[in-house]
Amino acid sequence: MSMPVALTIAGSDSSGGAGIQADLKTFAALGVYGASVITALTAQNTQGVTAVHDAPANIVTAQIDAVFSDLVVKAVKIGMVSRRDIIEAIAASLDRWKPKHVVVDPVMVATSGDRLLSPDAVEALKRELFPRAIIVTPNLPEAAALLEAPIATSESEIEAQGRRLLQFGCPAVLIKGGHGKGAESVDFLVTRDSAERLAAMRIDTKNTHGTGCTLSSAIAAGLAKGETLEAAVRNAKVYVSAAIAAADRLGIGHGHGPVDHFHAFRH
């Protein structure tokens, strides 16, 4: 029996805490073989992003075709896609290869506050990728930016924004509450039929670099292993919470350090 394969289509993080590097670490930690398509090279560390170099759209297409023509991909996670032509190339590739599970993490702003997506790319993201996704995973600022609305401050507002995001054609939305306040970090999994409140104790740490990438990759890993969407989301939240709780032990960098993807293997 072969190992399940998940593919990440995202940007590279030179400091190793987010993007492609976080995704591959997450896949490995959760027992899934990881393949990657790099959409952009970023020069970044725990303190910020200093440069971004986008890959040409035809190279993104070539990477996707190379992976799908040889590997049996069970799930795809899409992260940083900063240009419209790249988004359109990915959408065409998804239609060509028809993967069963696509997780879209609309990476618009880095943990450090650096904006990563141009306005026309945001429109393309909603138009081209959301309808092809099984789930979209924005955080609170990203959900607000996608809807051109104020950041939700109450749980009823979060749920309402989740329902509005469903209108772009995705069957499920997970709005991540890590940027909120209070003792709990509350995520909302919203589908056309339900809204589920997923709470975890908020962890007091500045080392949260790559949490969004890690969560969406963990969901993709669960789907690749055959879990239901709800189980994949629940298990991903447990994994990420534990990775954040162990983050301070790593001591990497001088800014927002990475989470500990391999916490379960350390004693």
Annotated catalytic residue within 25, 77, 176, 225: 176
210 noted as active-site residue: yes
Over residues 231-255, the pLDDT tens digits come to: 999 999 999 999 988 888 888 999 9
Q: In the numeric block, which tokens belong to residue 161?
A: 């924004």
Report pLDDT for 237. Answer: 93
Report pLDDT for 15. Answer: 95
48 noted as active-site residue: no
Q: Is the pTM of this model over 0.85?
A: yes
Question: Which amino acid appears at position 109 of this protein?
Answer: V
> Which residues touch 87 (CB under 8 Å, ≥6 apart)?
81, 121, 124, 125, 128, 129
Report pLDDT for 180. Answer: 57
16 noted as active-site residue: no
DSSP track, 210-253? THHHHHHHHHHHHHHTT--HHHHHHHHHHHHHHHHHTGGGT--S
* 8 Å CB contact between 13 and 42: yes
The strand order across the sheet containing 172-175 reads 48-54, 33-45, 5-13, 73-78, 101-104, 135-136, 172-175, 184-191, 195-201
Annotated catalytic residue within 79, 162, 213, 225: 213
211 noted as active-site residue: yes
176 noted as active-site residue: yes
Cβ-count burial of 58 within 10 angstroms (0-12 exposed, 13-18 middle, 19+ buried)?
Answer: exposed
Report pLDDT for 78. Answer: 98
| First-last CA distance in the chain | 30
Report pLDDT for 114. Answer: 60
Rounded distance, CA 91 to CA 132, Å?
A: 8
Annotated catalytic residue within 162, 180, 212, 222: 212
- Domains of the chain from N-terminus onward: 5-262 (3.40.1190.20)
* 8 Å CB contact between 252 and 46: yes
Annotated catalytic residue within 39, 61, 211, 214: 211
Annotated catalytic residue within 79, 180, 210, 257: 210
Over residues 49-103, the pLDDT tens digits come to: 899 999 999 999 999 999 999 999 999 999 999 899 999 999 999 999 999 999 9
206 noted as active-site residue: no
Annotated catalytic residue within 8, 191, 208, 214: 208
Cβ-count burial of 181 within 10 angstroms (0-12 exposed, 13-18 middle, 19+ buried)?
Answer: exposed
Q: How many CA atoms lie within 13 A of 182 on its CB side?
A: 12
Per-residue pLDDT of the chain in tens (267 residues, 90 and over written 9)? 789 999 999 999 999 999 999 999 999 999 999 999 999 999 999 998 899 999 999 999 999 999 999 999 999 999 999 899 999 999 999 999 999 999 999 987 655 556 667 788 889 999 999 999 999 999 998 999 899 899 998 889 999 999 999 999 999 999 987 655 667 778 899 999 999 998 877 788 888 888 899 999 999 999 999 999 999 999 999 999 999 888 888 889 999 999 989 999 986
Give bridge partners of residue 7 from the DSSP assignment: 35, 76
* 8 Å CB contact between 17 and 25: no
Chain CA centroid to CA 99, Å = 17
Report pLDDT for 96. Answer: 98
